[in-house]
Amino acid sequence: MLAKVNSCIIIGVEGLSLEIEVDIASGLPMFSTVGLPDGAVKESKDRVKAAIKNCGYDFPNKRITVNLAPANVKKEGAGYDLPIALGILSANGLIPPEKLSCYSIVGELSLDGKVRGVRGMLPVVLNARDQQMKGILVPSENSKEAGVVDGIEVIPIHYLYEAVEYLLGEREIEPYKNSFDTTFSHEEDSSLDFSDVKGQEHAKRALEIAASGNHNVLLKGPPGAGKTMLARRITTILPQLSFEEALETTKIHSIAGTLPEDVALISQRPFRAPHHTISDAGLIGGGSYPKPGEVSLAHNGVLFLDELTEFRKRLLEMLRQPLEDRKVTIARVNMSLAFPADFLLVAAYNPCPCGFHGDRGNRCICNAVQVQNYISKLSGPLLDRMDMHLEIGALPYSEMNTTAKSESSSEIRQRVNRAHAIQKARFSQLKGSRSNAAMSPSMVEKYCTIDNTGRSLLQMSVERLGLSARAYHRILKIARTIADLDDSGSIEKQHVAEAIQYRRLG
């Protein structure tokens, strides 16, 4: 007898409908799985057989064939255990086929029949809703995450026998539903605030501009100047995540397995700060079956690379594509996947190995060759893709010892929100751009017009500093953001002058 069960495959960050066909025929006892299964899927036969027996059901001592369609897409993970088990019980006559047709099913089985949680539940539920399924049977561990999706019943399952009894109508299971108010709360980390930062007013201003237009920032300065302290507080002035952005972010973290158990939906902008010893796949993403890396985990948030010159040069060069395209494309022989990577990059580095080159208060012990070798790890093309270059000086004692309170993050965020509202209105009818930093050349030409005085100043700066065409466009984008902060419809000379200040290190 043949039975069919609906499930889902994760391709990149999206769900693809999967049909699991189970055929039981006469012949020598055998259990075969076809359809490009990986090792974990092939091993499911032992888990499924033990779970069915230990839950008190008869396991057919016949020839069992399980087909995972579409057969040309690789299947991985243990999330197909539950649908395969239910398919076998249906093919054996226990569950009527029509009971399975309106549900999508996913879950790993332990040997005693307990249903364990799996990664990537959110895109699975979204796929089931898009396929107009009545409901989806999910492990109870994943019910919080699955419950954030409207328009589909989420049925939490603890054991295999619960799923069987529910499908047979012998057990009532209340669909799980999250409360939007508790799930999508914007509780901020009160331990981080710009009011804690003494001095460095020029750096705070630059980070406010960066947050307003989503401009990448490069911080250069001696140890202890406050580069890390400033970078870790930038998320406190970014606009709060919208529900759509929260879904995008949660999908990525769910697939990567970094979503905390007690969190149903990520409602705070992510801040990722990988160590400089990270691997290529860890930063960019990849593997034999590609998974998202840190650049994708920082999507809609901040990626902070501290001690930038300590990262391998080859690794830094890999950042060039995501910085331009705001996505990562990973190609393999049998597939090509794209992971979103729209993040704000904040990078910090010391001016030399000892850290005090050019510092008036401390003597540098590095020679010219050491300094050159140290800085040469940062290539011209990479530096050119950093919108804002900022030098952070050592803080004088008078500013360290002051008792005056600086401007708080909430006050800065109000101005950032106003600038974002202007950009949202500007780009509302356009696709692919949500910030000034993401404007295409044609959009720069349309929205970044300047008067003759500002144009003369920009021309002189480009010629004297030897700036590239990319740097020229980035100055215009920064000037547009500064004008938005001033609530100015046109870009004026002072906006251009301030924008140029943030390219001098390049």
The pLDDT, as a whole number, for residue 506 is 47
Helix (H) or strand (E) holding 381: helix 380-384
In a domain, 420, yes or no: no
Do strands 115-116 and 108-109 pair parallel, antiparallel, or not at all (unpaired)?
A: antiparallel
Tally of CB atoms within 10 A around 11: 14
What is the rounded distance in angstroms from the CA atom of residue 500 to the CA atom of residue 404? 30
The pLDDT, as a whole number, for residue 189 is 65
3-state SS, one letter per residue, for 399-411? HHCCCCCCCCHHH
Same domain, 213 and 86: no
In a domain, 455, yes or no: no
Per-residue pLDDT of the chain (506 residues; tens, 9 = 90+): 899 999 999 988 899 999 999 999 998 999 999 998 999 899 999 999 999 999 999 999 999 999 999 998 889 889 999 999 999 999 999 999 999 999 999 999 999 999 999 999 999 999 999 999 999 999 999 999 999 898 999 999 999 999 999 999 999 999 998 876 666 666 666 678 888 888 888 999 999 999 999 999 999 999 988 899 999 999 999 999 988 899 999 999 999 989 887 788 898 999 999 999 999 999 999 887 788 999 999 999 999 999 999 999 999 999 998 998 889 988 877 778 889 999 999 999 999 999 888 787 788 999 989 998 888 889 888 988 899 999 988 888 777 777 777 889 999 999 999 999 999 999 887 776 778 998 988 899 899 988 888 889 999 888 888 888 888 999 999 999 999 999 998 899 999 999 999 986 54
The pLDDT, as a whole number, for residue 155 is 96
Helix (H) or strand (E) holding 34: strand 30-34
In a domain, 189, yes or no: no
Same domain, 118 and 237: no
What is the rounded distance in angstroms from the CA atom of residue 310 to the CA atom of residue 275? 9
In a domain, 476, yes or no: no
Answer with the one of 406, 433, 468 that is the final residue of a domain. 406
CATH of residue 151: 3.30.230.10
Closest CA to 210 of 13, 473, 439, 437: 437
Closest CA to 107 of 20, 32, 14, 25: 20
The string of DSSP letters for 231-275 reads HTTGGGTSPPPPHHHHHHHHHHHHHHT-S-TT-SS--S--EE---
Tell me the CA distances in angstroms from 436 to 11, 214, 215, one per residue in order: 30, 7, 8
Same domain, 360 and 263: yes
In a domain, 417, yes or no: no
Is residue 13 helix, strand or coil?
Answer: coil
Is residue 390 helix, strand or coil?
Answer: strand
Residues of the domain holding 213 = 194-406
pTM listed for this prediction: 0.90
Same domain, 219 and 153: no
Same domain, 344 and 320: yes
- Count the domains in the chain: 2
Please name every residue paired with 157 in a beta bridge, in sequence order, or none if there are none: 139
Q: What is the dihedral of CA 144, 145, 148, 151, to 10 degrees?
A: -100
Same domain, 172 and 198: no
In a domain, 471, yes or no: no
Structure token pair of residue 417: 């929100």
Same domain, 215 and 331: yes
Answer with the one of 406, 434, 449 that is the final residue of a domain. 406
What is the rounded distance in angstroms from the CA atom of residue 500 to the CA atom of residue 479? 8
Tell me the CA distances in angstroms from 232 to 70, 344, 374, 415, 428, one per residue in order: 45, 12, 25, 19, 30
Same domain, 165 and 199: no
Same domain, 37 and 99: yes
Same domain, 296 and 362: yes
Handedness of CA 475, 460, 392, 422 (dihedral sign): negative
Same domain, 141 and 88: yes
CATH of residue 239: 3.40.50.300
Task: For residue 363, count CB atoms less than 10 angstroms from its CB and return exposed for 0-12, middle for 13-18, buried for 19 or more.
Answer: exposed
Answer with the one of 406, 440, 455 that is the final residue of a domain. 406
Distance of CA 211 to the CA centre of its chain: 17
Handedness of CA 441, 443, 446, 452 (dihedral sign): negative
Is residue 417 helix, strand or coil?
Answer: helix
What is the rounded distance in angstroms from the CA atom of residue 121 to the CA atom of residue 265? 12
Same domain, 309 and 238: yes
Look up residue 174 and give its DSSP letter.
Answer: P
